[in-house]
Each structure stands twice: as structure tokens, then as C-alpha cells.
Amino acid sequence: MHNDAHQSGVISNVLKLTDQLFVWAQFLGLMAISVVVAYCFVTEMMAMVFTRTASLGDLLMLFLYVEVLVMARAAMHSDHELTIAMPIAIAVVAIGRYMVMSSDHNASHQLMYAGSIFVLVGALCLWRWRKKDGKLLTPESAKSEPPKD
């Protein structure tokens, strides 16, 4: 009997240590992402200052960098997984930026990009309006009590 209690204590300690290792790995990964994004943001800003130009693509890129930083910060302050809305919003802006900046203005390709944005926004709407506690969330009820993502 004493041996079983000892084994469960050892297993509990191993699980706690493993959890701490994952917490530190997550922290280091998020810090690395933040440092790289901050470097890219500063590099993009310096390029705009030196060339004295700012295109829509440049501004959208800066926006994407800020959104990735916001997502990394949210992940760092969260005890659970991230909301799905942030990566979808980033993907929508990234595809929009690609549509604006791409030299490929083939109509069928542009329709596919627009379609992918439509699918992503539709998925985001479905996520926001998903069933919560057996009742369907509508845009009106989501305003009064937002879903816990």
C-alpha cells in the first residue's frame, strides 16, 4: 500500500515538472516570436523612412506585425488556448495584403483569394454564433454576453 502512494507521488511530481517545462518552452517560444516580430516591424519602419514612401502594402504589413504581437501577448497572459478569432483575422489581412501587393492580377486568382477571405469570415461568424449551453448565439445575444473563446 505504501508503495502505491509513493508511486503516485512520483508520478505527480513528474507531471508537475513536465508542466513547468512546457510553460517555460511556451514562454521562450512566445518571446522569440515577439523579438523577431519587433525586429521586422522596426526594419519595415526604417525602410519606409529611408525611402520616404509608405504604400498600402507596407501599412498592412505593419498591421500584421502588430496583430501577431497582440496574439503573442494574449497567449502569454492566458492559461488556456487562444481564441480562434485572432489567427483568422490575421489570415484575412494577410490574404488582403497579398491581393493588393501581388503582381498576379488574374481574375480567377483574385476570385479565389476573395473566396478564401469569405470562407474565413464565415468561419469566424459561425464560431462567434456557435451554440453555447444548448442555445444558439446570435449577434444580439453575443453583444450582451460574449462567448468565452
Handedness of CA 29, 34, 39, 41 (dihedral sign): positive
CA atoms within 13 A on the CB side of 95: 18
Q: What pLDDT does 39 receive?
A: 98
Whole-number Å distance between alpha carbons of 128 and 37:
28
Task: Name the residue type at position 36.
Answer: V
pLDDT computed for residue 135 by the predictor: 66
Do the beta carbons of residue 67 and residue 86 sit within 8 Å? yes
Q: Grid coordinates representing 72? A: 503573442
Cα–Cα distances in Å, from 136 out to 86, 91, 126, 149? 22, 26, 10, 15
* H-helix or E-strand spanning residue 144: helix 139-144
By the 8 A CB rule, do 62 and 46 touch? no
One-letter amino acid at 147 equals P
Low-confidence ranges of the chain (pLDDT < 70): 1-3, 5-6, 80-82, 131-149
- pTM tops 0.85: no
Predicted pLDDT at 76 = 85
* Cell output for 110: 483574385
CA-wise closest residue to 128 among 103, 104, 147: 147
pLDDT value of position 29: 93
Backbone angles phi, psi at 132, to 5 degrees: -130, 120
- Per residue in 70-81, pLDDT tens? 999 988 887 766
- Which pLDDT score is estimated for 7? 73
